[in-house]
């Protein structure tokens, strides 16, 4: 039996794949909802090539499937020449109505890892298949977990509506060419260059990591992985990729979608202040943070990290409480940018309205608006956390 963690394709020619302070992250969002091709994102990621290592890269794009906005789209890798395709497609037809399917368009790129998997996409309707009458999103999460745990050859790496993840072995600019991202039109792009620090190089292990329409790209390393993973397994999330970024994606879904917490509260959970700082806070704030630490302590992300989170209508940049990994944010008119460095943002848009470095644990949030102006979520907005602070 061949493992989904099987090493395939191009490895790091310079043998520097474990320099942990690297990784290049970038997110671009048009808050009016207007769509743009992937050219700017590829240009920005190429500017941070020194942060990559050729062992992995990837992108998430939002608003790319306007003809199927009501359908979940599964992007599926068949890792062993498509041997498991029939089994996976039989599973999908038993559990969904398959509205449309096709092979994900690619082109040859000599710098992308050899032995690329068969890449398929399926637009799915839950319909009457949800016999348990649970929320459709929960039903889809269960099906994704089931496929990734129990189907030997198939791996679902994207499962949201009107969005998709494109990732693999190679530098991000080469993967952008491989996946023909200039052919897609999206209002938000998120990208990553490099590879999970402590796992083998394989196509499914590249960033972004995704569940439903939540995607996460990550620079850093979490020492809390095991306790995070065990907590998530209590809620039906199974970390089949054995990498810390996977727990970030599932934690985001659990806290923000299933629990309904706003981003500011989620940030206070995963990037919680140190205890000595909490002890010095005014009583109301101290009680709020103590409540979060007692209730959600196993989901604290311990270790250096910067992440960019994407989901339909929103893009979030967040760094750890000590700002041990870099993050820059910027705006220009209706556009919002976040990246590991200011240079790729300036390359795409030299004349910015504003650029700044967020404080540790302070989320930067870009949201779709109706007035055509970029809306940036203010950090630590007390009104959004009222229900937690009042407990």
CATH number of the domain bearing residue 209: 3.60.20.10
**Count: domains in the chain:** 1
Tallying the residues shown for the chain, one arrives at 391
Q: How many CB atoms lie within 10 A of CB 349?
A: 19
Catalytic residues: 23
Q: Which residues of the chain have pLDDT under 50?
A: 1-20, 372, 378-391
Q: Which domain holds residue 90?
A: 24-389
* 1, part of any domain: no
pLDDT score recorded for residue 17: 47
Instruction: For residues 231 and 160, give the distance between their C-alpha atoms in angstroms, rounded to a whole number.
Output: 23
pLDDT score recorded for residue 102: 96
Residues with Cβ within 8 Å of 43's Cβ and at least 6 positions away in sequence, in order, are 344, 347, 348
* 77, part of any domain: yes
Q: What is the pTM of this model?
A: 0.89
Asked if 224 and 27 touch (Cβ cutoff 8 Å), the reply is: no
* 17, part of any domain: no
* 298, part of any domain: yes
pLDDT score recorded for residue 167: 95
Q: Terminal CA-to-CA distance of the chain, rounded, Å?
A: 51
pLDDT score recorded for residue 374: 52
* 12, part of any domain: no
Asked if 238 and 149 touch (Cβ cutoff 8 Å), the reply is: yes
pLDDT score recorded for residue 222: 87
* 318, part of any domain: yes
* 47, part of any domain: yes
pLDDT score recorded for residue 220: 86
* 370, part of any domain: yes
Among 78, 61, 96, 94, residue whose Cα is nearest residue 148: 78
């Amino acid at each position: 039996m061949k493992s989904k963690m099987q090493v395939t394709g191009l490895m790091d020619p310079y043998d520097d794949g474990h320099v942990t302070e690297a990784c290049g992250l970038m997110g671009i969002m048009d808050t009016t909802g207007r769509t743009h091709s992937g050219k700017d994102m590829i240009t920005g990621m190429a500017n941070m090539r020194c942060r990559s290592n050729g062992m992995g890269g990837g992108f998430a794009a939002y608003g790319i499937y306007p003809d199927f906005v009501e359908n979940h789209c599964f992007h599926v890798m068949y890792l062993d020449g498509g041997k498991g395709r029939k089994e996976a497609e039989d599973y999908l037809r038993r559990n969904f109505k398959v509205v449309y399917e096709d092979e994900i368009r690619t082109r040859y790129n000599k710098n992308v890892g050899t032995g690329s998997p068969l890449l398929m996409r399926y637009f799915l309707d839950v319909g009457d298949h949800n016999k348990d009458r649970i929320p459709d999103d929960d039903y889809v999460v269960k099906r994704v977990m089931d496929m990734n745990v129990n189907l030997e050859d198939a791996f679902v790496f994207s499962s949201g509506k009107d969005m998709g993840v494109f990732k693999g072995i190679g530098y991000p600019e080469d993967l952008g060419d491989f996946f023909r991202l200039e052919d897609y039109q999206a209002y938000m792009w998120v990208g990553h260059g490099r590879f999970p620090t402590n796992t083998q190089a394989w196509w499914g292990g590249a960033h972004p990591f995704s569940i439903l329409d939540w995607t996460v790209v990550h620079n850093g390393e979490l020492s809390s992985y095991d306790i995070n993973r065990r907590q998530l397994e209590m809620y039906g999330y199974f970390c089949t990729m054995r990498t810390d970024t996977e727990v970030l994606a599932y934690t985001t879904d659990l806290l923000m979608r299933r629990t309904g917490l706003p981003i500011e509260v989620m940030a206070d959970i995963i990037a919680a202040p140190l205890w000595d700082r909490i002890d010095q806070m005014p009583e109301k704030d101290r009680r709020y943070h103590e409540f979060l630490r007692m209730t959600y302590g196993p989901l604290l992300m311990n270790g250096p990290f910067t992440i960019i989170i994407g989901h339909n209508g929103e893009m979030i940049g967040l760094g750890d409480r000590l700002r041990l990994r870099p993050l820059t944010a910027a705006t220009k008119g209706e556009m919002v940018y976040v990246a590991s460095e200011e240079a790729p943002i300036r390359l795409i848009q030299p004349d910015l309205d504003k650029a700044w470095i967020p404080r540790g644990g302070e989320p930067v949030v870009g949201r779709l608006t109706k007035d055509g102006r970029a809306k940036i979520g203010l950090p630590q907005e007390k009104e959004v956390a009222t229900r937690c602070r009042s407990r």
